[in-house]
Amino acid sequence: MLQKGTAKKVTIYVNEDTRHHLGPLYEAILNFLLHKGVAGASATRAMAGFGAHQVMHTAKIEVLAQHLPIRIEFIETAGRVEELLPTLYDMVGDGVLEVSDTEIVKAANQDLPAEPKTPHAEFRGKARMMRIYLGESDQWEGKPLYDALLQRLKAMDIAGATVYRGILGYGVKGHTHKSGALPFSRDLPIMISVVDTEEKLRQAIDAVEAMMQDGLIVLSDVDVIRLLHSRPESSHANG
Amino acid sequence: MRTAKQARLLRLHFSEGDRYQGKPLYEAIVDRAKTLGIAGATVFRGLEGYGETAEIHRKHLMRHDEPIVVTIVDSAENLERLIPEVEAMMDTGLIATSEVEAIRIERRGNPAGG
Protein backbone atom coordinates (compact mmCIF):
# COMPACT_ATOMS: atom_id res chain seq x y z
CA MET A 1 0.00 0.00 0.00
CA LEU A 2 1.16 3.49 -0.73
CA GLN A 3 2.42 5.73 2.04
CA LYS A 4 2.03 9.43 2.53
CA GLY A 5 4.94 11.35 1.01
CA THR A 6 6.78 11.74 -2.25
CA ALA A 7 6.17 9.29 -5.04
CA LYS A 8 6.23 9.04 -8.83
CA LYS A 9 3.29 9.34 -11.12
CA VAL A 10 3.51 7.53 -14.44
CA THR A 11 1.27 8.54 -17.32
CA ILE A 12 1.11 6.56 -20.52
CA TYR A 13 -0.74 7.68 -23.65
CA VAL A 14 -1.62 5.03 -26.20
CA ASN A 15 -4.28 4.57 -28.84
CA GLU A 16 -7.27 2.42 -28.04
CA ASP A 17 -6.69 0.23 -31.07
CA THR A 18 -2.97 -0.34 -30.58
CA ARG A 19 -2.48 -4.06 -30.12
CA HIS A 20 -0.03 -5.95 -27.95
CA HIS A 21 0.16 -9.63 -28.90
CA LEU A 22 -3.50 -10.64 -29.04
CA GLY A 23 -5.25 -7.92 -27.06
CA PRO A 24 -5.38 -4.15 -26.76
CA LEU A 25 -2.15 -2.56 -25.50
CA TYR A 26 -3.83 -0.66 -22.67
CA GLU A 27 -5.23 -3.94 -21.32
CA ALA A 28 -1.82 -5.57 -21.53
CA ILE A 29 -0.28 -2.66 -19.62
CA LEU A 30 -2.96 -2.81 -16.91
CA ASN A 31 -2.52 -6.57 -16.58
CA PHE A 32 1.23 -6.15 -16.29
CA LEU A 33 0.82 -3.53 -13.55
CA LEU A 34 -1.68 -5.71 -11.67
CA HIS A 35 0.62 -8.71 -11.93
CA LYS A 36 3.51 -6.67 -10.57
CA GLY A 37 1.44 -5.65 -7.56
CA VAL A 38 1.13 -1.96 -8.37
CA ALA A 39 -1.17 -0.32 -5.83
CA GLY A 40 -3.61 0.93 -8.45
CA ALA A 41 -3.84 2.03 -12.06
CA SER A 42 -6.62 3.42 -14.19
CA ALA A 43 -7.12 3.81 -17.88
CA THR A 44 -9.29 6.66 -19.07
CA ARG A 45 -10.56 7.17 -22.57
CA ALA A 46 -10.21 10.63 -23.97
CA MET A 47 -13.00 12.46 -25.74
CA ALA A 48 -10.69 13.67 -28.44
CA GLY A 49 -6.99 14.14 -29.04
CA PHE A 50 -4.11 14.01 -31.43
CA GLY A 51 -0.59 12.66 -31.22
CA ALA A 52 2.61 12.13 -33.11
CA HIS A 53 0.75 11.23 -36.28
CA GLN A 54 -0.94 14.67 -36.28
CA VAL A 55 -4.35 13.11 -36.83
CA MET A 56 -7.33 14.24 -34.78
CA HIS A 57 -8.96 11.29 -33.01
CA THR A 58 -12.51 12.13 -32.06
CA ALA A 59 -15.64 10.34 -30.99
CA LYS A 60 -17.73 12.50 -33.29
CA ILE A 61 -16.76 10.63 -36.41
CA GLU A 62 -17.55 6.97 -36.00
CA VAL A 63 -14.65 5.58 -38.05
CA LEU A 64 -12.18 7.51 -35.97
CA ALA A 65 -13.79 6.63 -32.62
CA GLN A 66 -11.77 3.47 -32.16
CA HIS A 67 -8.53 5.41 -32.49
CA LEU A 68 -9.26 7.48 -29.40
CA PRO A 69 -6.41 8.11 -26.98
CA ILE A 70 -6.26 6.14 -23.76
CA ARG A 71 -4.44 7.53 -20.75
CA ILE A 72 -3.14 5.09 -18.14
CA GLU A 73 -2.05 6.53 -14.82
CA PHE A 74 -0.53 5.00 -11.75
CA ILE A 75 1.35 6.17 -8.69
CA GLU A 76 4.13 4.18 -7.09
CA THR A 77 7.31 4.70 -5.10
CA ALA A 78 10.37 5.82 -7.05
CA GLY A 79 12.00 2.43 -6.59
CA ARG A 80 9.04 0.50 -7.94
CA VAL A 81 8.68 2.83 -10.92
CA GLU A 82 12.37 2.29 -11.68
CA GLU A 83 11.72 -1.48 -11.79
CA LEU A 84 8.67 -1.22 -14.03
CA LEU A 85 9.91 1.33 -16.54
CA PRO A 86 12.12 -0.87 -18.76
CA THR A 87 9.23 -3.25 -19.49
CA LEU A 88 6.76 -0.42 -20.03
CA TYR A 89 9.28 1.24 -22.31
CA ASP A 90 9.34 -1.88 -24.47
CA MET A 91 5.59 -2.35 -24.42
CA VAL A 92 4.71 1.16 -25.51
CA GLY A 93 5.81 0.97 -29.11
CA ASP A 94 3.58 3.81 -30.23
CA GLY A 95 2.65 6.42 -27.65
CA VAL A 96 4.05 8.50 -24.85
CA LEU A 97 5.46 7.44 -21.50
CA GLU A 98 5.83 10.14 -18.87
CA VAL A 99 7.08 10.10 -15.28
CA SER A 100 6.60 12.99 -12.89
CA ASP A 101 7.21 13.67 -9.21
CA THR A 102 4.14 13.75 -7.09
CA GLU A 103 3.19 13.82 -3.46
CA ILE A 104 0.73 11.50 -1.81
CA VAL A 105 -1.39 13.42 0.66
CA LYS A 106 -3.64 10.59 1.69
CA ALA A 107 -3.71 6.92 0.78
CA ALA A 108 -6.53 5.37 2.78
CA ASN A 109 -7.69 1.81 2.58
CA GLN A 110 -10.45 0.73 4.89
CA ASP A 111 -11.10 -2.89 4.01
CA LEU A 112 -7.72 -4.47 3.64
CA PRO A 113 -5.19 -5.08 6.38
CA ALA A 114 -1.71 -3.75 5.64
CA GLU A 115 -0.14 -7.22 5.49
CA PRO A 116 0.90 -8.39 2.01
CA LYS A 117 -1.29 -10.84 0.15
CA THR A 118 0.22 -14.32 -0.07
CA PRO A 119 -1.15 -17.08 -2.29
CA HIS A 120 -1.31 -19.66 0.49
CA ALA A 121 0.23 -20.73 3.76
CA GLU A 122 1.29 -24.24 4.53
CA PHE A 123 0.38 -26.26 7.57
CA ARG A 124 2.30 -29.41 8.38
CA GLY A 125 1.89 -31.57 11.41
CA LYS A 126 0.27 -34.40 13.27
CA ALA A 127 -3.45 -34.77 12.88
CA ARG A 128 -6.13 -37.42 13.19
CA MET A 129 -8.11 -39.15 10.53
CA MET A 130 -11.61 -40.46 11.12
CA ARG A 131 -13.28 -42.91 8.79
CA ILE A 132 -17.01 -43.38 9.24
CA TYR A 133 -18.59 -46.47 7.73
CA LEU A 134 -22.33 -46.51 7.14
CA GLY A 135 -24.93 -47.57 4.59
CA GLU A 136 -26.16 -45.46 1.72
CA SER A 137 -29.81 -46.00 2.68
CA ASP A 138 -29.29 -44.91 6.31
CA GLN A 139 -31.48 -41.92 7.07
CA TRP A 140 -31.40 -39.01 9.46
CA GLU A 141 -34.53 -36.89 9.80
CA GLY A 142 -35.75 -37.83 6.36
CA LYS A 143 -32.54 -37.29 4.43
CA PRO A 144 -29.53 -39.45 3.70
CA LEU A 145 -27.38 -39.89 6.79
CA TYR A 146 -24.13 -39.25 4.91
CA ASP A 147 -25.54 -35.91 3.78
CA ALA A 148 -26.64 -35.03 7.31
CA LEU A 149 -23.25 -36.05 8.72
CA LEU A 150 -21.42 -33.91 6.19
CA GLN A 151 -23.55 -30.89 7.03
CA ARG A 152 -23.06 -31.48 10.75
CA LEU A 153 -19.28 -31.67 10.30
CA LYS A 154 -19.34 -28.52 8.25
CA ALA A 155 -21.39 -26.74 10.90
CA MET A 156 -18.75 -27.79 13.44
CA ASP A 157 -16.10 -26.15 11.28
CA ILE A 158 -14.23 -29.41 10.71
CA ALA A 159 -11.44 -28.85 8.19
CA GLY A 160 -12.70 -31.25 5.54
CA ALA A 161 -14.60 -34.43 4.82
CA THR A 162 -15.03 -36.64 1.76
CA VAL A 163 -17.80 -39.14 1.10
CA TYR A 164 -16.95 -42.31 -0.81
CA ARG A 165 -19.40 -44.85 -2.12
CA GLY A 166 -18.23 -48.44 -2.14
CA ILE A 167 -19.32 -51.02 -4.67
CA LEU A 168 -19.71 -53.95 -2.29
CA GLY A 169 -19.42 -54.61 1.40
CA TYR A 170 -20.79 -55.96 4.64
CA GLY A 171 -20.49 -54.79 8.20
CA VAL A 172 -22.18 -54.47 11.53
CA LYS A 173 -25.58 -55.40 10.19
CA GLY A 174 -24.16 -58.56 8.68
CA HIS A 175 -25.98 -58.16 5.38
CA THR A 176 -24.19 -57.56 2.14
CA HIS A 177 -24.44 -54.09 0.65
CA LYS A 178 -24.78 -54.55 -3.04
CA SER A 179 -26.28 -52.53 -5.81
CA GLY A 180 -29.82 -53.79 -6.36
CA ALA A 181 -31.62 -54.65 -9.56
CA LEU A 182 -33.28 -51.24 -9.57
CA PRO A 183 -31.07 -48.19 -9.53
CA PHE A 184 -33.01 -46.57 -6.65
CA SER A 185 -33.13 -49.67 -4.45
CA ARG A 186 -29.46 -49.81 -3.64
CA ASP A 187 -27.86 -49.80 -0.25
CA LEU A 188 -24.16 -49.54 -0.98
CA PRO A 189 -21.51 -48.97 1.67
CA ILE A 190 -20.54 -45.36 2.34
CA MET A 191 -17.30 -44.23 3.91
CA ILE A 192 -16.68 -40.64 5.02
CA SER A 193 -13.09 -39.68 5.69
CA VAL A 194 -12.44 -36.67 7.88
CA VAL A 195 -9.10 -35.09 8.82
CA ASP A 196 -8.59 -32.51 11.54
CA THR A 197 -6.78 -31.99 14.84
CA GLU A 198 -7.31 -34.47 17.66
CA GLU A 199 -9.42 -32.13 19.77
CA LYS A 200 -11.63 -31.02 16.88
CA LEU A 201 -12.23 -34.65 15.99
CA ARG A 202 -13.10 -35.53 19.57
CA GLN A 203 -16.09 -33.19 19.39
CA ALA A 204 -16.95 -34.50 15.94
CA ILE A 205 -16.96 -38.13 17.10
CA ASP A 206 -19.57 -37.38 19.78
CA ALA A 207 -21.79 -35.63 17.25
CA VAL A 208 -21.39 -38.35 14.63
CA GLU A 209 -22.02 -41.14 17.13
CA ALA A 210 -25.26 -39.54 18.28
CA MET A 211 -26.59 -39.50 14.72
CA MET A 212 -25.69 -43.07 13.79
CA GLN A 213 -27.80 -46.14 14.38
CA ASP A 214 -25.12 -48.61 13.48
CA GLY A 215 -21.82 -48.47 11.77
CA LEU A 216 -18.18 -48.09 12.50
CA ILE A 217 -15.89 -45.18 13.32
CA VAL A 218 -12.18 -45.79 12.77
CA LEU A 219 -9.52 -43.38 14.00
CA SER A 220 -5.87 -43.18 13.09
CA ASP A 221 -2.90 -40.84 13.35
CA VAL A 222 -1.87 -39.06 10.18
CA ASP A 223 0.65 -36.48 9.07
CA VAL A 224 -0.87 -33.66 7.13
CA ILE A 225 0.50 -31.22 4.65
CA ARG A 226 -2.19 -28.72 3.96
CA LEU A 227 -2.42 -25.57 1.92
CA LEU A 228 -4.46 -22.83 3.47
CA HIS A 229 -5.83 -19.86 1.66
CA SER A 230 -4.65 -16.59 3.15
CA ARG A 231 -7.79 -15.81 5.03
CA PRO A 232 -7.13 -13.72 8.10
CA GLU A 233 -9.77 -15.57 10.13
CA SER A 234 -8.35 -19.07 9.56
CA SER A 235 -6.69 -19.16 12.97
CA HIS A 236 -8.14 -22.51 14.05
CA ALA A 237 -5.81 -24.36 11.69
CA ASN A 238 -2.82 -23.66 13.87
CA GLY A 239 -3.77 -26.20 16.53
CA MET B 1 -17.99 -40.89 23.73
CA ARG B 2 -17.48 -44.58 24.26
CA THR B 3 -13.94 -45.84 24.37
CA ALA B 4 -12.26 -46.71 21.13
CA LYS B 5 -10.73 -50.17 20.87
CA GLN B 6 -7.36 -50.87 19.36
CA ALA B 7 -7.80 -52.51 15.97
CA ARG B 8 -6.06 -52.88 12.65
CA LEU B 9 -7.03 -51.58 9.24
CA LEU B 10 -6.20 -53.78 6.29
CA ARG B 11 -6.15 -52.36 2.78
CA LEU B 12 -5.91 -54.51 -0.32
CA HIS B 13 -5.13 -52.87 -3.63
CA PHE B 14 -5.62 -54.67 -6.91
CA SER B 15 -7.46 -54.36 -10.18
CA GLU B 16 -11.14 -54.75 -10.95
CA GLY B 17 -10.26 -57.15 -13.74
CA ASP B 18 -8.58 -59.61 -11.35
CA ARG B 19 -10.51 -62.82 -10.95
CA TYR B 20 -10.46 -65.77 -8.59
CA GLN B 21 -12.08 -69.07 -9.59
CA GLY B 22 -14.24 -67.44 -12.20
CA LYS B 23 -15.59 -64.53 -10.17
CA PRO B 24 -14.27 -61.07 -9.47
CA LEU B 25 -11.46 -61.19 -6.93
CA TYR B 26 -13.03 -58.49 -4.75
CA GLU B 27 -16.22 -60.55 -4.46
CA ALA B 28 -14.23 -63.66 -3.61
CA ILE B 29 -12.28 -61.80 -0.92
CA VAL B 30 -15.43 -60.32 0.66
CA ASP B 31 -17.02 -63.79 0.70
CA ARG B 32 -13.90 -65.31 2.26
CA ALA B 33 -13.77 -62.58 4.91
CA LYS B 34 -17.40 -63.28 5.77
CA THR B 35 -16.76 -67.01 6.04
CA LEU B 36 -13.86 -66.36 8.39
CA GLY B 37 -16.11 -64.23 10.60
CA ILE B 38 -14.32 -60.95 9.93
CA ALA B 39 -16.30 -57.97 11.27
CA GLY B 40 -16.74 -56.18 7.95
CA ALA B 41 -15.31 -55.37 4.55
CA THR B 42 -15.89 -52.56 2.08
CA VAL B 43 -14.88 -52.46 -1.58
CA PHE B 44 -14.14 -49.14 -3.31
CA ARG B 45 -13.54 -48.56 -6.95
CA GLY B 46 -11.08 -45.85 -7.90
CA LEU B 47 -11.20 -43.83 -11.08
CA GLU B 48 -7.68 -44.37 -12.28
CA GLY B 49 -4.42 -45.63 -10.89
CA TYR B 50 -1.28 -47.59 -11.47
CA GLY B 51 0.72 -50.08 -9.48
CA GLU B 52 3.33 -52.77 -9.63
CA THR B 53 3.02 -53.53 -13.31
CA ALA B 54 3.24 -49.83 -14.20
CA GLU B 55 0.17 -50.28 -16.32
CA ILE B 56 -2.45 -47.57 -15.96
CA HIS B 57 -5.64 -49.05 -14.58
CA ARG B 58 -8.69 -47.30 -15.84
CA LYS B 59 -12.01 -47.85 -17.50
CA HIS B 60 -11.74 -49.35 -20.94
CA LEU B 61 -14.51 -49.56 -23.45
CA MET B 62 -15.19 -53.26 -23.03
CA ARG B 63 -13.54 -54.35 -19.81
CA HIS B 64 -13.31 -52.93 -16.33
CA ASP B 65 -9.76 -52.40 -15.18
CA GLU B 66 -10.15 -49.69 -12.55
CA PRO B 67 -8.24 -49.87 -9.29
CA ILE B 68 -10.03 -51.61 -6.43
CA VAL B 69 -9.39 -51.05 -2.73
CA VAL B 70 -10.84 -53.40 -0.13
CA THR B 71 -10.74 -52.05 3.42
CA ILE B 72 -11.26 -54.29 6.41
CA VAL B 73 -11.18 -53.29 10.08
CA ASP B 74 -10.85 -55.97 12.76
CA SER B 75 -8.62 -57.16 15.60
CA ALA B 76 -5.01 -58.02 14.85
CA GLU B 77 -5.72 -61.72 15.56
CA ASN B 78 -8.60 -61.90 13.12
CA LEU B 79 -6.60 -60.17 10.41
CA GLU B 80 -3.75 -62.62 10.93
CA ARG B 81 -6.16 -65.42 10.02
CA LEU B 82 -7.36 -63.57 6.93
CA ILE B 83 -4.11 -62.22 5.45
CA PRO B 84 -2.50 -65.56 4.43
CA GLU B 85 -5.72 -66.63 2.70
CA VAL B 86 -6.03 -63.34 0.84
CA GLU B 87 -2.37 -63.46 -0.11
CA ALA B 88 -2.94 -66.82 -1.76
CA MET B 89 -5.90 -65.46 -3.72
CA MET B 90 -4.17 -62.34 -5.03
CA ASP B 91 -1.98 -62.42 -8.07
CA THR B 92 -0.40 -58.98 -8.05
CA GLY B 93 -1.38 -56.19 -5.77
CA LEU B 94 -0.64 -54.60 -2.46
CA ILE B 95 -1.56 -55.50 1.09
CA ALA B 96 -1.15 -52.76 3.69
CA THR B 97 -2.08 -52.66 7.35
CA SER B 98 -2.10 -49.85 9.86
CA GLU B 99 -2.83 -49.25 13.51
CA VAL B 100 -6.25 -47.74 14.21
CA GLU B 101 -8.79 -47.26 16.96
CA ALA B 102 -12.32 -48.41 16.25
CA ILE B 103 -15.69 -47.48 17.71
CA ARG B 104 -18.44 -49.88 16.77
CA ILE B 105 -21.96 -48.51 16.86
CA GLU B 106 -24.81 -51.01 17.16
CA ARG B 107 -28.02 -49.41 18.22
CA ARG B 108 -30.70 -50.64 15.87
CA GLY B 109 -33.11 -53.16 17.44
CA ASN B 110 -31.92 -52.10 20.87
CA PRO B 111 -34.41 -49.53 22.20
CA ALA B 112 -32.29 -48.79 25.25
CA GLY B 113 -29.69 -47.25 22.98
CA GLY B 114 -25.97 -47.63 23.32
How far is the alpha carbon of B17 from chain A, nearest alpha carbon, in Å? Answer: 14
Instruction: Indicate the residue of B2, B40, B98 with minimum beta-carbon distance to A216.
Output: B40
- ipTM value for the complex: 0.80
Inspect the interface and report whether the beta carbons of B9 and A218 lie closer than 8 Å.
Answer: yes
User: A212–B7: do the CB atoms touch at under 8 Å?
Assistant: no
Q: Give the gap in angstroms from C-alpha B52 to the nearest C-alpha of chain A.
A: 23
pLDDT given for residue A183 in this prediction: 56
- All structural domains of chain A: 5-104 (3.30.70.120), 120-238 (3.30.70.120)
Shortest Cα–Cα distance, B41 to chain A (Å): 5
> Are B105 and A214 inside 8 Å of each other by CB?
yes
Q: Which residues of A are less than 8 Å from B108 in CB distance?
A: 173, 213-214
CA-derived radius of gyration, chain A: 30
Of A135, A139, A113, residue with least CA distance to A192: A135
Q: Please judge whether A218 and B73 are an interchain contact, meaning their C-beta atoms are less than 8 angstroms apart.
A: yes
Q: pLDDT tens-digit profile of A141-191? A: 999 999 999 999 999 988 888 999 998 988 866 566 666 555 555 788 999
Q: What is the pLDDT of residue B72?
A: 95
Angle at alpha carbon of residue B96, lines to B88 and A206, rounded to 5°: 130
CB–CB contact B40 A171 (8 Å): yes
pTM above threshold 0.90: no
Record: fold of B5-99: Alpha-Beta Plaits (3.30.70)
Average pLDDT over residues B52-76: 76
Please answer yes or no on whether A213 and B107 come within 8 Å at the CB atom.
yes
Most confidently modeled range among A36-40, B24-28, B65-69 = B24-28
State the pLDDT at residue A217. 94
What is the model's pLDDT at position A185?
A: 56
